[in-house]
Amino acid sequence: MNGPRSLEELLSHFDKAPVKDPDTAIKTNQWAKRFRSYLENNEQGEVVTALRFLVLTQVFEPNSRASVADPDLLATFIRTSKMFFSEESEDCVTLSNPRLFEAISEAGRQKQEALTKDMVRQMLLARHDADVWQKGVEEEYIRFVSTQKSTIACLLSIL
Query: How confident is the model over 28-82, as pLDDT tens digits?
Result: 999 999 999 999 999 999 999 999 999 999 988 877 766 777 788 889 999 999 9
Number of domains in the chain: 1
99 versus 116: the higher-pLDDT residue is: 99
Flag whether pLDDT at 2 surpasses 80: no
Q: Distance (Å, rounded) from C-alpha 61 to C-alpha 12?
A: 10
Predicted pLDDT at 114:
84
Mean pLDDT of the chain: 87
Task: Output the pTM of the full model.
Answer: 0.88
Expressed as residue numbers, the domain containing 126 is: 7-158
Whether 49 is covered by a domain: the verdict is: yes
Whether 39 is covered by a domain: the verdict is: yes
Flag whether pLDDT at 111 surpasses 70: yes
Nearest to 10 by CA among 2, 62, 18: 2
Whether 83 is covered by a domain: the verdict is: yes
Whether 1 is covered by a domain: the verdict is: no
Asked if residues 104 and 78 have their Cβ atoms less than 8 Å apart, the reply is no
Please state which of the ranges 10-14, 16-20, 102-106 shows the lowest mean pLDDT: 16-20
Whether 2 is covered by a domain: the verdict is: no
Whether 117 is covered by a domain: the verdict is: yes
Whether 56 is covered by a domain: the verdict is: yes
Whether 48 is covered by a domain: the verdict is: yes
The percentage of residues in the chain with a pLDDT greater than 70, rounded to a whole number, is 91
Flag whether pLDDT at 107 surpasses 60: yes
